Amino acid sequence: MAHPRIVIAGPYSGVGKTTISVGIMGALKRRGLKVQAFKVGPDYIDPSHHSIILNRPSRNLDAWMVSSEGIIEIFERAVRNVDIAVIEGVMGLFDGFDESDGNGSTAHIAKLLRSPVLLVINAHGMTKSAAPLALGYRLYDPDLRVSGFILNKVAGEKHKNSCKRAIQSATGLPVLGALPFNRDIEMQERHLGLIPQREKAHPEPFLEKLIETIEENIDIDKILYIAKSAEKLPRSRHTVYPEHEHEKNVAIGVAFDESFNFYYQDNLDMLRAYGADIKFFSTIRDNSIPQGVSGLYIGGGLPEMLPEELGANISMLKSVKKVAEDEMPIYAECGGLMYLTDYITDFKNRSYRMVGLLNARSVMTKNLTLNYTLADVVEDNPLSRKGDVLRGHEFHYSKILDVPIDARFSYRMKVGRGIDGKRDAWLEHKALASYMHMHFAYQRRFVKNFLRTCEDYSRS
């Protein structure tokens, strides 16, 4: 079956891909269509906006962390029983982790999924000059199907028409619409990009205004027509999910609230598919971890924005530390790593007590660490075994200070910084805490290893 789908891309970051993608998703949903959203790359924040507008989880498509077969499987599994898929690109259309062939770029994913592409062009400050820009993207890769353009930040009707005529004349492709410059529909940003929708950064009136603006200025019927012209996908094999879901045999507590919400949806779904009963809990509002769990997953997020609330929940801090010292398996990524240290020091140099399992300090800085990562596993841990090779990514403004000289680390970094520039994945009891984020679809045995370790704990 040729699932209708469209990729929303841009020549570079900041042209308005997320705003336009979310607005188009909302407009399609208003028509009574079931819409599935995707995000190219290792982004957690943009998918949160997709998920809110559609009331269904958005999913990531990342070629560094997931094989081509895995990406096709994740896509096909997610689009069953939906009417259309909207895939938001990352950075510029051809920007990837390997500049020689654009591997991991939006173009790479579009070609892999045989999807037509709409290119968003920020028209501010140009008219006819938009035409050679559009033409270059139209012709650069003959294997990529660029199918049309959307203009953003046009100054008025005359400006829109001048750009539209020039682009259509040069490329032979349609301009499907043009958004006027309008601060009322600009999405709010912070140090890691857009503010996650979990924090209700963009309330319903804002989203309604955005959808109305999209409907007034973009030809949704033509987008549907182009999406329906997508080619049939190759059949995928079961390289990520089991052919049949396993019976639930272990309960896993997953921290999910305003501080911890950076999870790949497929990570959670894979845990369920391989036998986990997931019990969500809040590190801010709940007094302790859920009853009956045999492992914890504390993902990334923004604990630096609510450190006072986290530190004030002393009963939760004690609950997490106690089960860790009792050898319960814990997997913590980035924000979760910070939560397990002694203190978090925020951007204003104020320190707040945290769990205290890892005797070090998490300190916010002005320097961004942003990398795809590659690491050798040098010590067995709840997810991986010595000799394994891991791929992931890191994205944070913090650093870990005062790490004890005898701290044990499971990863030796080949690409990326990790905790100290050379090592990552601090191992304390059976808690594994790393700056590296992983997509479990990279190696599904990591899920099986973690759940097996949790089962062993439940029987101990």
The CA angle 138-143-148, to the nearest 5 degrees, is: 35
pLDDT of residue 188: 60
Between CA 130 and CA 127 the distance in angstroms is 6
Provide the mean pLDDT of the chain. Answer: 93
**Closest CA relative to residue 432, chosen from 334, 366, 345, 346:** 334
pLDDT of residue 59: 97
Kindly list the distances between the CA atom of residue 325 and the CA atoms of 293, 313, 322, in Å, as whole numbers in the listed order. 15, 19, 5
Task: Describe the crossing of helices 45-54 and 17-30 by its angle, rounded to 10 degrees.
Answer: 20
Backbone angles phi, psi at 456, to 5 degrees: -60, -40
- Max alpha carbon distance in the chain (Å)? 73
For the record, the structure tokens of 323 come out as: 């089960």
pTM, to two decimals = 0.93
Between CA 164 and CA 131 the distance in angstroms is 8
Q: Do domains 5-228 and 250-459 have the same CATH topology?
A: yes
Between CA 259 and CA 369 the distance in angstroms is 19
Q: Tokens 């998490």 map to which residue? A: 362
pLDDT of residue 193: 46
For the record, the structure tokens of 250 come out as: 């272990």
Between CA 54 and CA 72 the distance in angstroms is 22
For the record, the structure tokens of 374 come out as: 């590659």
Q: Give the three-class secondary structure for 179.
A: strand
Q: Other C-beta atoms within 10 Å of 379: how many?
A: 15
For the chain, 460 residues long, give each residue's pLDDT as a single digit of tens. 579 999 999 999 989 999 999 999 999 999 999 999 999 999 998 999 899 999 999 999 999 999 999 999 999 999 999 999 999 999 999 998 876 666 889 999 999 999 999 999 999 999 999 999 999 999 999 999 999 999 999 999 999 999 999 999 999 999 999 999 876 656 565 444 445 545 455 567 788 999 999 999 999 999 999 999 999 998 888 899 999 999 999 999 999 999 999 999 999 999 999 999 999 999 999 999 999 999 999 999 999 999 999 999 999 999 999 999 999 999 999 999 999 999 999 999 999 999 999 999 999 999 999 999 999 999 999 999 999 999 999 999 999 999 999 999 999 999 999 999 999 999 999 999 999 999 999 999 999 999 999 999 999 8
pLDDT of residue 183: 65
CB 419 within 8 A of CB 318: no
Using the Cα atoms of residue 160, residue 161, residue 166 and residue 170 in order, give the sign of their dihedral: positive
pLDDT of residue 197: 46
Between CA 423 and CA 411 the distance in angstroms is 6
pLDDT of residue 98: 74
- Looking at CATH, the fold of the domain delimited by 5-228 is given as Rossmann fold (3.40.50)
Q: Is 88 exposed, middle or buried (0-12, 13-18, 19+ CB in 10 A)?
A: buried
Using one digit for the tens of pLDDT, what is the confidence trace for 184-205?
656 565 444 445 545 455 567 7
Between CA 435 and CA 417 the distance in angstroms is 9
**Closest CA relative to residue 337, chosen from 438, 433, 439:** 433
Q: Where are the domains of the chain?
A: 5-228, 250-459
pLDDT of residue 192: 47
For the record, the structure tokens of 18 come out as: 């997320």
Active-site pick, 52, 334, 377, 425: 334
Using one digit for the tens of pLDDT, what is the confidence trace for 34-56?
999 999 999 998 999 899 999 99
Q: Report how far Cα 342 is from the mean position of its chain's Cα atoms.
A: 28
Percent helix, strand and coil across the chain, each rounded to 5? 35, 30, 40
Task: Describe the crossing of helices 17-30 and 204-217 by its angle, rounded to 10 degrees.
Answer: 90
**Closest CA relative to residue 397, chosen from 288, 261, 279, 303:** 303
163 classed as catalytic: no
Domain 250-459 class, CATH top level? alpha beta
pLDDT of residue 284: 97
Between CA 348 and CA 328 the distance in angstroms is 34
